[in-house]
């Protein structure tokens, strides 16, 4: 931070001894140390606050980016599902009614035509004969 060499430090100590005096020098150094400690605490607190603000801004940017990517993936998935099934696929949350007593209607499961792999009767066992 400060580029103070040995010679500059020696000049500062000599001037301090001459101006303050040898009896009051320890008290003056203790007071200076307390002030330096307070300045360091304030600067550390300020730096921590700035770091937190930067992290929050970065998280917001990442959340926006992830949301956009998720929407793109959902649209591609819906388009391919629609192409396979031949009917629209819901990609968002279920519809919500604005009426106070109305309940959300869950989506209906796709209907399977009879005879499409669904067994109609259990197969007779050989033990029954």
pLDDT in tens, the chain (129 residues): 567 788 998 898 889 888 988 899 889 889 999 999 999 999 999 999 999 999 999 999 999 999 999 998 888 887 777 777 766 666 666 667 666 665 555 556 666 655 555 555 555 655 554
pTM for this entry: 0.41
How far is 63 from 124, CA to CA, in rounded Å?
A: 58
How far is 45 from 51, CA to CA, in rounded Å?
A: 10
How far is 105 from 94, CA to CA, in rounded Å?
A: 7
């Amino acid at each position: 931070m400060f580029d103070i060499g040995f010679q500059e430090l020696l000049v500062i100590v000599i001037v301090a001894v001459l101006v303050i005096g040898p009896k009051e020098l320890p008290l003056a150094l203790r007071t200076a140390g307390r002030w330096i400690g307070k300045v360091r605490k304030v600067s550390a607190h300020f730096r921590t606050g700035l770091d937190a603000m930067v992290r929050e801004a970065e998280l917001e940017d990442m959340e926006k980016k992830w949301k956009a990517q998720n929407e793109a993936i959902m649209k591609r998935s819906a388009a391919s599902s629609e192409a396979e099934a031949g009917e629209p696929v819901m990609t968002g949350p279920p519809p919500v009614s604005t009426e106070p007593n109305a309940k959300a209607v869950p989506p209906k499961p796709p209907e399977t035509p009879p005879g499409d792999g669904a067994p109609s009767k259990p197969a007779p066992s050989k033990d029954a004969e």
